[in-house]
Amino acid sequence: MDQNDRLTKSKEQWARARRGGEEREVFYEGDDRLPPGQHLVETWPVLDLGHKPEISLEEWRLTIGGAVTTAVIWTWANFLAQPQFKDVSDFHCVTSWSRYDNEWEGVSFKQLMTVVQPLPSARFVLFKSYDDYTTNLPLSACQDDDVLLTYKWNGRPLTKEHGGPVRMIVPKRYAWKGAKWVKEITFSEQDEKGFWEVRGYSNTAFPWKNDRYG
Q: Which residues bind Mo ion (CB under 5 A)?
A: 47, 93-94, 176
Smallest gap from Cβ 134 to ligand MTE, in A, equals 8
Task: Please report, as a single letter, which amino acid is at residue 10.
Answer: S
Q: Please count the residues of the chain.
A: 214
- Give the nearer residue to ligand MTE in terms of CB position, either 13 or 146: 146
- Give the nearer residue to ligand MTE in terms of CB position, either 31 or 131: 131
Task: Please report, as a single letter, which amino acid is at residue 151.
Answer: Y
- Give the nearer residue to Mo ion in terms of CB position, either 48 or 115: 48
66 binds, among Mo ion, ligand MTE, none (CB under 5 to 8 A by kind): none
Binding residues (CB under 6 A) for ligand MTE: these are 44-49, 93, 129, 131, 133, 162-163, 175-176, 178-181
Smallest gap from Cβ 179 to ligand MTE, in A, equals 5
Instruction: Quote the DSSP letter at residue 68.
Output: B
User: If we measure between CA atoms, which residue out of 25, 26, 28, 31 comes closest to residue 43?
Assistant: 25
Q: What is the CA radius of gyration of the chain?
A: 18
C-beta of residue 69 within 8 angstroms of C-beta of residue 115? no
- Give the nearer residue to ligand MTE in terms of CB position, either 17 or 93: 93
Smallest gap from Cβ 69 to ligand MTE, in A, equals 27
* Coil/strand/helix, residue 15: helix
Q: How far apart are CA 111 and CA 150, in angstroms?
A: 13
Smallest gap from Cβ 46 to ligand MTE, in A, equals 4
